[in-house]
Chain A
Amino acid sequence: MNPHSYQISKLEMAITVVSMVIGVGILTLPRALAASVETTDGWMSIVLGLVLNMVLVLLIFRLHRHFPGKSFIGLWGNQSVAKWIGKLFSIAFVCYFVTLLAYEARILTVVVRMYLLDRTPSEVTVLFIFLATTYAVTKGVQGIVHLNLMFFPFVVFVITLIVIFNLHDASFGAIFPIAAEGITPIIMGVQETSLSFLGIEILFFFLAYMKGKDLQATLVNAGIAFVAFLYLLIVVMCYMVIGLEVTKIIAFPLVALAKEVEIIEGLVERIEPLMITVWIMSIFNTMAIVHFLATKIIKDEFVKKARVSTIAIVITFFSFIITFIPVSLQEAFMLGDYVSYFGLGLTCFALLCGYLYVFIKKKSKQQGNSEAM
């Protein structure tokens, strides 16, 4: 009954990471890949991006094994310099999370306006999704993790459905020849795909809720491998069903892919509203996690006395403003790119600093031991 006694099991952690990673990226990835690779070899970039991210996950787990039960911010402790580094990191992470929240909300409104409600003002759709995430934040870490578990099967089910029902239209020849223009475009694509796995940085905070002996990266890595598998399926299906050239210019290729689906002639004419509906659950998961983490960091580090709901509402306010800063879809995507680069950079930098800290601590401990002797 005590929320602090709640502990995330290994599988729950894996599913949380999967839910976080599958967000906006899955809609736009085929286009981004097609644009940057310019051949149908994008799927190899996904595999490479996966390997890169698996290493990152492994490193995060390794780092946290030194500090079981502590989040990345918490591990800096209360000593003078380390404490301020922790504060700086928390500010950076809060900025990152708030902007990410705004970006996801923006893409959500664009998609909803495009495919579901063409006359409803964007502000209204954003407001409702923010209401939902704010409510979710008040349920705490247990609520957020359990919500991921509840919506995860829907998302997987719909993606599988889209892939299966497109199989009869797929022309398998479209992805050949493999590596026609050499390795260089594939490497270029990795830049794109490594960003699409972003979301693993939540491990910095969620690992605090795991038991020390559960801190093994295997299941989480299996989880992001599963995401990579889904990405791969979708990207390859996009190339095989709607073609490389078309994929390059469509804003949301996955929705276009869903458009091609025809379930048992005449039962449902268009499946993409249904797909969007389920995808809203997935993007809600991502947003709820991000919103929760931003709230949590602020509460733990800056205003310990404020109520969670108050902080969540203030964050909503700022995110709401940021959501409408980009004027066009193009600018929104640019914002997304900046956020992603910032996130990846932050993750790598945080890892670097973390290991450095561990190293220094060990050193000083050894020194302390030798002095004592």
Chain B
Amino acid sequence: MLKKLFSKLHSDEVRKEKEYEIKFTGDIDETVQSINNIVGESDDIIQRDFLIGKKIRATLFFVDGLCDSASIEQDVIRPLIYFTDVKRYDQKDFLTYLQEEVVTISELTTETSLEKAMLPFLSGETILIIDGIKELILFETRQFNERSISEPESEIVVRGPRDGFVETLHTNILQIRRRIRDPNLTVQFGALGRRAKSDFALLYIKGVTNQRYIDEMRYRISCVDTDQVVETGTLEQLIEDNVLTVFPQMLRTERPDKTVAALMSGQVVVLHDGSPFSLMAPITFHMLFRSPEDYYDRWQISSFTRLLRYLAAFLAMFLPAIYIAMVSYHQGMLPTLMAISIAGSREGVPFPGFIEAIVMEITIELLREAGVRLPRAVGQTIGIVGGLVIGDAAVRAGIVSPIMVIVVALTAIASFAIPAYNVTIAFRLLRFLMMLSAATLGLYGIVIVYIFINIHLVGLRSFGTYYTSPFAPYRYSEWLDMFIRAPLSLMNKRFPELKPEDKNKSG
């Protein structure tokens, strides 16, 4: 049934762009009229009529603001108006002559169809129409206003480069190019969205990245058929393997150094104009725990922080559930003194452990969401109000026990210790499922849900690679870069699960 629906959507005749399929007769009035028919209603489209060498009629079209008007004036209009050799006009190679000897702009193309000229025109190129010539001339006059390069706010490292991606595609590619001067680094452009037609770039290193992933990525992106893709996040959802999962199947980052590392390890990278996030694929579960910093610090330090992150993931997912299971089902597991102290602190709390935990967890999720939305100055206050005042007041009012506050606080801190924000959300969601199962079936419920998550993970793929590798299937060489990060001199192989065409990265 869905298939039928999709095919119906695709056959939608409205989307076809027949109105652009116009053949030029060479009559300038007619051409100008047809361009005006398409874009004339917009006030920011500027039409500039002038005479070449005081004789030949010509018209320029450009979009105000997208173009460098100084360049148009200096390199296009001025040479054409002061042009004197009007006799050449009657000869056949007049257009080539203009291109080669008159106009001084660095880049220009000619186009015979208005349809093809529309996209470059709307992204900032200037159209020149000359009376009697059946071709359009397009001048590269694009100019950007962009945010300056700054430190990415969502991924802060102590040791490492401070630059981050910006919203302009070309600046981002530049940042990568500056780091990899390999001629095999390939950058391919394309347009996304039926209406928006925003630019994206596909990056990979020839001879390292497996051709299968490049083809697969290209295929999936070309299958995207939607009006507009605003962000790489949207693109990610449209091309991922499995929609019914909380686990990300592509990594995103604002950091050029992380992107470069991904390229070097044989992943495909997608950049999108208008988004400071790059997409990297394929990935495995254990890559979610890696931060670029791991490779800049000495290996003992990095290994320690890696282990901490796995512990953090464990706590973020299991701690409230284990607390609930302990206080509701398995009091006997705790040492007597601790059991007594927990029981003492829970005295007077009117709710069972589950209600207590869920109330506090929801409170902390609310605080986090509010903290993100608020202006930075107020955000700090919310932290203090929420953390101290509500926590303390709730304990004093006897709604929750002090131990519960510790559990919730520890869980919240642990969930911030994972380097990628979107991964944290996955663990946060699963935590609620865990709590529910712990409340109904205790430890048995926890282990059953854990088994369910594992079954789900072994079935998950990221662009056809096993998500749980290097653990299942075993890939020993990558174990050096999993729970611990071995000395760099030992890690001389690329991750075999990515099936790189060049298997060695050093020595």
Do these two chains really belong together in a complex? yes
Q: Are B443 and A277 in contact (CB under 8 A)?
A: yes
Check if B474 sits within 8 Å of A150, measured CB to CB. Answer: no
Residue of chain B at shortest CB distance from A280? B447
Please report the C-alpha to C-alpha distance between residue A273 and residue B441 in the assembled complex, in whole angstroms. Answer: 13
Secondary structure dominating the interface of A:
helix
Return the contact of A149 from the options B329, B335, B450, B474 (Cβ within 8 A).
Answer: B474
The reply to whether the CB of B448 lies closer than 8 angstroms to some CB of chain A is yes
In the assembled complex, B372 has its CB within 8 A of some CB on chain A = no
A143 with B459, Cβ < 8 A, contacts A116-B443, A120-B441 known? yes
B335/A136 in contact, CB under 8 A = no
Question: In the complex, what residues of B have CB within 8 A of residue A160's CB?
Answer: none
Is A117 within 8 A of B472, CB to CB? no
CB distance from B45 to the nearest CB of A (A): 48
Let me know if B472 and A147 touch, CB within 8 A.
yes
B141 at the A interface (CB under 8 A): no
Instruction: Write the chain B residue with the least CB distance to A142.
Output: B458
Known contacts: A1-B461, A125-B444. The answer to whether A12 contacts B455 by CB under 8 A is: no
- Let me know if A270 and B471 touch, CB within 8 A: no
Question: Using Cβ atoms and an 8 Å threshold, which residues of chain B touch A12?
Answer: 473-474
Residues of B contacting A117 with CB < 8 Å? 329, 441-442, 444
- The answer to whether B448 and A139 touch across the interface, beta carbons within 8 angstroms, is no
**Given A270-B332, A270-B333, is A146 in contact with B466 using a C-beta cutoff of 8 Å?**
yes
Q: Are A132 and B455 in touch, CB under 8 angstroms?
A: yes
Given A116-B329, A274-B443, A277-B446, 20 more pairs with CB closer than 8 A: A1-B461, A117-B329, A117-B442, A125-B444, A128-B445, A129-B448, A136-B455, A146-B468, A147-B458, A149-B471, A149-B473, A149-B474, A150-B454, A150-B472, A266-B337, A269-B332, A274-B333, A276-B443, A277-B443, A280-B447
Closest 3 pairs (CB-CB, A-B): A146-B472, A149-B472, A146-B458
Q: Counting CB contacts under 8 A, is B116 at the interface?
A: no
CA distance A139 to B242 in the complex (A): 14
Q: Which residue of B lies closest to A152 (CB)?
A: B472
Tell which of A132, A138, A266, A270 has the most Cβ of chain B within 10 Å: A132
- Determine whether the beta carbon of A116 is less than 8 Å from that of B472: no
| A139 CB to nearest B CB, Å | 4
Q: Which residues of A contact B370 (CB under 8 A)?
A: none
Query: For the complex, is B451 an interface residue (Cβ under 8 Å from A)?
Result: yes
A131 to chain B: which residues have CB within 8 Å?
448
Question: In the complex, A151 Cα to B455 Cα: how many Å?
Answer: 11
Chain A positions 119-139 with a Cβ under 8 Å from a chain B Cβ? 120, 124-125, 128-129, 131-132, 135-136, 138-139
A11, B459: Cα distance in complex, Å: 20
Known A12-B474, A139-B458; judge A281-B442 contact (CB<8 A). no
A219 to chain B, nearest CB (A): 13
Chain B residues whose CB sits within 8 angstroms of the CB of A11 once the complex forms: 474
Q: 1/0 contact trace for B36-48 toward A, CB 8 Å?
A: 0000000000000
- Pick the contact of B441: A9, A128, A143, A276 (CB < 8 A): A128
Q: Does B330 contact A (CB under 8 A)?
A: yes
* CB within 8 Å for A146 and B444 given contacts A269-B333, A273-B330, A281-B451: no
Closest Cβ of chain B to A112, distance in Å, is: 6
Q: Give Cα distance in the complex from A9 to B476, angstroms.
A: 13
Report if B196 contacts A (CB, 8 A): no
Contact residues in A for B6 (Cβ distance below 8 Å): none
A1-B461, A11-B474, A150-B472 known; A132 and B451 CB under 8 Å?
yes
Q: Give Cα distance in the complex from A131 to B471, angstroms.
A: 25
Q: How far apart sit A343 and B232, CA to CA, in the bound complex (Å)?
A: 55
Is the beta-carbon distance between A266 and B338 smaller than 8 angstroms? yes
Task: Say yes or no: is A372 at the interface (Cβ < 8 Å to chain B).
Answer: no
- The answer to whether B349 has its CB under 8 Å from any CB of chain A is no
Across-interface contacts of A270 in B (CB, < 8 A): 332-333
Q: Is A81 an interface residue (CB 8 A)?
A: no
Residues in A neighbouring B468, C-beta threshold 8 A = 146, 150
> Do B458 and A116 touch (CB < 8 A)?
no
Pick the most buried of B338, B339, B473: most chain A CB atoms within 10 A of its CB. Answer: B473
Of residues 444 to 495 in B, which have CB atoms within 8 Å of A's CB atoms? 444-448, 450-452, 454-455, 457-459, 461, 464, 466, 468, 471-474
**B91: Cβ under 8 A from any A Cβ:** no
Identify 10 residue pairs between A and B in the complex whose beta-carbon atoms are under 8 Å apart, listed by A's number: A116-B444, A125-B441, A132-B448, A147-B454, A149-B473, A266-B335, A269-B335, A270-B333, A277-B443, A280-B447
B455/A135 in contact, CB under 8 A? yes
A residues near B335, Cβ cutoff 8 Å:
266-269
Specify which chain B residues have a CB less than 8 angstroms from the CB of A266 in the assembled complex. 335, 337-338
Judged by a CB distance under 8 angstroms, whether A284 is at the interface is yes
Whether B332 lies near A147 (C-beta < 8 A) is no
B145 within 8 A of A: no
Provide the bound-state CA to CA distance between A323 and B374, in Å.
57
Known: A12-B473, A116-B329, A281-B447. A1 touches B455 (CB 8 A): no
Q: Smallest CB–CB gap between B498 and chain A, Å? A: 15
Chain A residue with the shortest CB-CB distance to B463 = A1
B336, CB-defined interface residue at 8 Å = yes
Q: Chain A residues with Cβ under 8 A from B451's Cβ?
A: 132, 280-281, 284
The contact of A147 among B442, B443, B455, by CB within 8 Å, is B455
Contact of A280 among B330, B333, B444 (CB under 8 A): B444
Which of B339, B446, B452 has the most A CB atoms < 10 Å from its CB?
B452
Q: What distance in Å separates the Cβ of B504 from its nearest Cβ neighbour in chain A?
A: 22
User: Which residue of chain B has the shortest Cβ distance to A136 in the bound complex?
Assistant: B455
Question: Of the candidates A116, A149, A274, A284, which one forms a contact with B442 in the assembled complex, judged by CB atoms under 8 Å apart?
Answer: A116
Q: Is A273 within 8 A of B443, CB to CB?
A: yes
Q: Is B334 an interface residue (CB 8 A)?
A: yes
Cα separation A112 to B452 with both chains bound (whole Å): 18
Give chain A interface residues in 233-247, CB to chain B under 8 Å: none
Of B334, B442, B445, B471, the contact of A150 (CB 8 Å cutoff): B471
Within 8 A of A (CB), among B310-355: 329-330, 332-339
A19 → chain B closest CB, angstroms:
12
A112 and B445 alpha carbons, distance in the complex (Å): 11
Q: Are A128 and B473 also in contact (CB < 8 A) when A266-B338, A268-B333 are?
A: no
Interfacial residues of chain A within 269-297, with CB under 8 A of chain B in the complex = 269-270, 273-274, 276-278, 280-281, 284
Query: Which chain A positions have C-beta within 8 A of B444?
Result: 112, 116-117, 120, 125, 128, 277, 280
Q: How far is the CA of A125 from the CA of B334 in the complex (A)?
A: 24
- Report chain B residues within 8 Å CB of A132: 448, 451-452, 455
Contact mask for chain A residues 22-38; partner B; CB cutoff 8 A; 1 contact, 0 none? 00000000000000000
B388-419 CB mask vs A (1 if < 8 Å, else 0) is: 00000000000000000000000000000000
Chain A residues, CB < 8 A from B334: 268-269
Chain B residues in 8 Å Cβ range of A125: 441, 444
